[in-house]
Amino acid sequence: MARRGKKIREKGKLKLSSYFKNIDDGARVAVVDERGVRMSFPPRLRGMSGKVKCSRGKFKEVEIKDGDKLKTFVIHPVHLKVLA
């Protein structure tokens, strides 16, 4: 069964540092859904990793390999986690 909300210790105000974090172009990122902010990407992308292509306003264009194709998604940085 899918998780619909946050766990009890995660509830409350969203950290502003995670909302306004800076992610450089070309960085490797993982898609991690933040339940406090509306998701504008398909649920099947959760846990996938990709590369930041460029910025589009506050959002980032992320290239993710879906099967054999490279697809570009526009995702808010609060849903992205930078990989080392």
Q: pTM, whole model, 2 decimals?
A: 0.82
DSSP string, 9-44: TT-SSPPHHHHS----TT-EEEE---TTS---S-GG
| Residue range 8-65, pLDDT digits in tens | 887 887 888 988 999 999 999 999 988 888 888 888 899 999 999 999 999 999 999 9
Residue type, 39: M
Q: What is the pLDDT of residue 73?
A: 95
Q: Are strands 28-31 and 49-56 parallel, antiparallel or unpaired?
A: antiparallel
> Which residue's structure tokens are 């899918």?
2
Q: Are 31 and 39 in contact (CB under 8 A)?
A: no
| 70: DSSP letter | E
Overall fold of domain 23-82: SH3 type barrels. (2.30.30)
Sheet containing 69-75: order of strands: 69-75, 59-66, 49-56, 28-31, 80-82
